[in-house]
Amino acid sequence: MKAKHQRLVLVILALVALVGAGLLAAYALRNQASYFYLPEQMQAEPPEVGQAVRLGGMVAPGSLATQADGITVTFTVTGRENSAVPVRYAGILPDLFVEGSGVVAEGRLAADGTFVADNLLAKHDENYVPRELEGMSEHQAAEMAEETTVGLE
Amino acid sequence: MIAELGLAALWLAAALAVLQLVGGALALRGGTESELAALTRPAAVLQGGLVALSFAMLLWVFAITDLSVKLVAMNSHSAKPLIFKLSGAWGNHEGSMLLWVTVMALAGALIAGIERRLPERTMQATLAAQGFVALGFYAFLLLSSNPFERLPQPAAEGLGLNPLLQDIGLAFHPPTLYIGYVGLSVAFSFAVGALITREVTPAFARAMRPWILGAWVFLTLGLVAGSYWAYYELGWGGYWFWDPVENAALMPWLAATALLHSAGVLASRDALRVWTIMLGVVAFSMSMLGTFLVRSGVLTSVHAFAVDPERGSFILLLLTLYIGGALLLFALRAGAISEGERFSVASREGALVVNNVMLSAILAVVLLGTLYPLLTEAFDVRVSVGPPYFNPVGAIFAFPMLAVMAVGPLLRWRRDSWGRISKELALVAAMLLAGIVLFAVLGEIALLPLLGLAFAVALAVASFLPLKGRRLKRVPIATWGMITAHFGIAVMLFGMASEGAFSQERLAALEEGGTTSVGPWAVRLEAVEPVAGPNWTALAGRLTVRHRDGDPQAIAPQSRNFWAPPQQTTESVLVTRWNGQLYAVMGGSSTDGRWQVRLWWKPFVTLIWYGGLLIALGGVLALVGRVRSDLKHRYISRRITERREERETA
Rounded Cα–Cα distance for residues B254 and B363 (Å): 6
Backbone region of residue B419 per phi and psi (left: phi > 0; alpha: psi in -120 to 50; beta: other values): alpha
User: Ramachandran region of residue B568, left (φ > 0), alpha (ψ -120 to 50) or beta?
Assistant: beta
Mean pLDDT over B361-385 rounds to 87
Long-range contacts of B417-425 (CB under 8 A, 24+ apart): B417/B346, B418/B346, B424/B462, B424/B465, B424/B468
Residues 127-146 of A with CB under 8 A from B: 127-132, 135
pLDDT at B605 over 80: yes
Say what the pLDDT of residue B156 is: 80
- Return phi, psi of residue B462, to 5°: -60, -30
DSSP 3-state percent helix, strand, coil across chain B (nearest 5): 65, 10, 20
Task: Quote the pLDDT of residue A48.
Answer: 86
pTM of the model: 0.90
Chain A residue with minimal CA distance to B300? A131
Q: Return residues 32-61 of A near B (CB < 8 Å).
A: 32-36, 52, 54
Q: What are phi and psi of A136, to 5 degrees?
A: -75, 170
pLDDT of amino acid A4: 58
A50 confidence band (pLDDT: 50, 70, 90): confident
Is any Cβ of chain B less than 8 angstroms from the Cβ of A20?
A: yes
- Please count the residues of chain A: 153
* Partner B contacted by A98 (CB < 8 A): no
Residue B137 belongs to a domain = no
| Residue B63 belongs to some domain of the structure | no
Nearest CA in chain B to A64: B591
Q: Is residue B18 part of a domain?
A: no
Q: Which of B28-37, B402-411, B521-530 has the lowest mean pLDDT?
A: B28-37
Separation of alpha carbons A23 and B3, rounded Å: 52
CA distance A69 to chain B (A): 7
Hey, is the C-beta of A147 within 8 angstroms of any chain B C-beta? no
Mean pLDDT of A89-107: 80
The fraction of chain B above a pLDDT of 70, given in percent, is 95
Question: Which residues in chain B have their CB less than 8 angstroms from residue A33's CB?
Answer: 372-373, 376, 383-385, 389
pLDDT tens readout for residues B246-299: 899 999 999 999 999 999 999 999 989 999 999 999 999 999 998 888 776 666
Please check the confidence at residue B77 and state whether its pLDDT lies above 90: no
Helices vs strands, H then E, count in chain A = 3, 7
Q: Which of B339, B353, B389 shows the shortest C-beta gap to A32?
A: B389
What are the two backbone dihedrals, phi and then psi, of residue B537, each rounded to the nearest 5 degrees?
A: -125, 155
**pLDDT at residue B367, rounded to an integer:** 95
* Residues, chain B: 650
Minimal C-alpha gap between A77 and chain B (Å): 18
**B611, B568, B559: which is closest to B588 by C-alpha?**
B559
Helix H or strand E encompassing B506: strand B504-510
Mark yes or no for CB contact A10/B275 under 8 Å. Answer: yes
CB of B369 within 8 Å of a chain A CB? The answer is: yes
Reported ipTM: the value is 0.77
pLDDT tens-digit map of B3-60: 999 999 999 999 999 999 998 888 888 765 667 778 889 999 999 999 999 999 999 9
CA distance B23 to B156: 47
CA distance B593 to B304: 38
pLDDT recorded at residue B116: 82
Instruction: Kindly report which listed range (A136-145, B3-12, B166-175) carries the lowest average pLDDT score.
Output: A136-145
> Residue A146 pLDDT more than 60?
no
Residues of B in contact with A98 (CB under 8 A): none
Partners of residue B508 in chain A, C-beta under 8 Å:
70-71
CATH (residue range A34-148): 2.40.50.140
Whether omega before B409 lies within 30 degrees of 0, making that bond cis, reads no
Cβ of B339 within 8 Å of Cβ of A4? The answer is: yes
Structural domain containing residue B596: 504-603
Hey, are the CB atoms on A24 and B384 less than 8 Å from each other? no
Taking CA atoms, what residue in B is nearest to A31?
A: B389
Q: How far is the C-alpha of B526 from the C-alpha of B425, rounded, in Å?
A: 56
B186 vs B49: CA distance, rounded Å: 17
Closest Cα in chain A, distance from residue B587 (Å):
6
Q: Return the higher-pLDDT residue of B360 and A10.
A: B360
Q: B548 lies in a domain?
A: yes
Query: Is residue B470 assigned to a domain?
Result: no
Question: Does B507 contact A at CB distance below 8 Å?
Answer: yes
**Model confidence at B304: pLDDT above 70:** no
A32 min Cα distance to partner chain B (Å): 5
* 8 Å CB contact between B294 and B304: yes
Task: Tell me the pLDDT band of A31, cut-offs 50, 70 and 90.
Answer: confident
- Total number of domains constituting chain B: 1
B244 touches chain A (CB under 8 A): no
Enumerate the residues of chain B whose CB falls inside 8 A of the CB of residue A151.
Answer: 159, 565
Closest CA to B576 of B509, B497, B510, B495: B495
